[in-house]
A and B are shown apart, each in its own frame.
Chain A
Amino acid sequence: QVQLQESGPGLVKPSETLSLSCTVSGDSVNSGSYYWSWVRQPPGKGLEWIGNIHYTGRINYNPSLKSRVTMSVDTSKNQFSLNLSSVTAADTALYFCARANYFYYYMDVWGKGTTVTVSS
């Protein structure tokens, strides 16, 4: 059974960088069949796709966040990561990691999510 688990600081100061990791179990991040994705959900609002990454380095980012987002894959730890720079209160959200179909990008396995609050 594939499971994903997000981890990282729950509180980030404004203007700093939000860094999250997602540990994958039951599958390999270097499985060529999937992209690895990040999705966020501000309090009381809908889902916002952040981006996805393939272990070969192929990356897709949300155009509205592209200037601040960096994603990476660590095959030795079977993890993938998200960095979001210059955060503001608008980046406060529940952050999910998810596995995405290689061809059509839909997310078929999700982590439980981790809450990140941006506040001084």
Chain B
Amino acid sequence: QSVLTQPPSVSAAPGQKVTISCFGSNSNIVTQYVSWFQQLPGSAPKLIIYDNYKRPSGIPDRISASKSGTSATLGITGLQTGDEADYYCGAWDSSLSAWVFGGGTRLTVL
């Protein structure tokens, strides 16, 4: 059981938009910065969002994120087959004094 809760899977057609939710609590999402990671099949995770909404260099602006209350949301527009991956949210948990990940969401581009 992960501290952060994500839907196991989402899907959408190429060119469409998809959102992935991440639910937490006061000790993590509400009071800490949220990050998002993309893990392509057979690859290591890659940071795609940090500090709630910032994109590292090289991450396209069709990837965005936001946070409100106990939830965070990752959005991807103009879906491509290359976006098929597992996506994880993560944040520091001040009660646990530990980093916590969501359980991951598998994105399928139909």
Contact = CB atoms under 8 A, between A and B. Distances in A.
B45 A104 contact: no
Interface in A69-120: 96, 100-101, 104-108, 110-113
Interface in B26-48: 32-33, 35, 37, 39, 43-47
Interface size class of A (residues with CB under 8 A): 20 to 34
B68 interface: no
Contacts of B37: 47, 107
Interface residues of B, number: 27
A106 B50 contact: yes
Nearest to A6: B44
Q: Main SS of the interface on chain A?
A: strand
B101 interface: yes
B110 interface: no
Q: Main SS of the interface on chain B?
A: strand
Contacts of B44: 96, 110-113
Given A46-B2, A101-B50, A112-B44, A106 B101 contact: no
A52 B102 CA distance: 18
B77 to A, nearest CB: 23
B51 A47 contact: no
Contacts of A108: 47, 50, 56
A40 to B, nearest CB: 11
Contact of A60 (B43, B90, B97): B97
B33 A104 contact: yes
Nearest to B6: A46
Interface of B: 2, 32-33, 35, 37, 39, 43-47, 50-51, 56, 86, 88, 90, 92, 96-104
Given A47-B37, A96-B44, 9 more contacts: A48-B101, A49-B100, A51-B98, A104-B33, A104-B50, A105-B99, A107-B37, A110-B45, A112-B43
In the A-B complex, the 9 residue pairs with the closest CB atoms: A106-B35, A49-B99, A46-B104, A110-B44, A47-B101, A106-B50, A104-B33, A46-B103, A108-B47
9 contacts: A46-B103, A47-B104, A52-B99, A63-B97, A105-B92, A105-B99, A106-B47, A106-B51, A107-B37
